[in-house]
Amino acid sequence: MSYLSKLPKPFFVLAPMDDVTDTVFRQIVAGCAPPDLNFTEFVNADGLQSPGRLKLLKKLRFTPGERPLIAQIWGKEPENFYKTARELADGTFARELGLPVGVNFAGVDLNMGCPQKSEVNNGTCSALINDRPRACGIIEATRQGLADMLPLSVKTRTGFNEVDMTWIEFLLGQGLQMLTLHGRTKRQMSKVPADWGIIGQARELRDRLAPDTLIVGNGDVQSRRQGLELAERYRLDGVMIGRGVFQDPFIFAGNSPWPDHSADKRIALYRKQVQLFTKTWQDGERPIHTLNKFCKIYINGFDGAKELRERLMKARDTEELTRLVAETQQAHYQA
């Protein structure tokens, strides 16, 4: 029996966000209020089977405390999906990452929803909505690579230019353990509100076509309470939260303390992330700008926050950022 079937209903998932939900930020969120399920950033299966493999391993890096963790992959060539899935399932990647014996990924997810122009023009991610033979080949190759050792899921959108229920029907016919549906088409990007009514229609299709496939909704969820309401209204198995975590690192908590967090507590949490980032990426695997932008989460809601953010955003390395955060924290303690 897949661990997915043992998750609470509804379960909550931290969405995969490139250059955001790396191992460092997932650890920060877990320390605040852990989700029921984590995803990695999306990593290219073709790249993992190329000389660029070592540079991409950072996207798969994790600690035991971030589990259960699903590896999300994308790409174009079914053969590379097969090889990558096999190495994820048998622990090859876990060993390369230096993880303890017995610690591994909990599943593999196929990114068939990213709407970014470069990925779409390359025939990957949401472009697969219009290339079902390739989508089918990728799903089947991944399944063969997993060899029933890990569950297989897909994250996608409601269509390419327009809502396309035949795409959802197609995916529900693939024997997936889980289907995550973002309530927008590729064309809509993030320019319109997510349509949860379409997600509800997908759940109705699931009930008829693939009752064993879990349905997870995604799009514009800003609080756990809102997620619970949407899950109940549309009878979903799970809810995925992405950008909502930027407004509240405790978003997965039953009763978030974030609105009442003082400035010094917010700054202290950012300092914790800066320190963990510095410790984790000692060889410069992540550029400083991927850390600078996180100050928007923590440095707000108090006098002088805007000016402080501007200073932090200009930091050129972790040493400077660490010094600025420490000085700011000291100043608030003395105030």
- Residues serving a catalytic function are 114
**Are 262 and 255 within 8 A, CB to CB?**
no
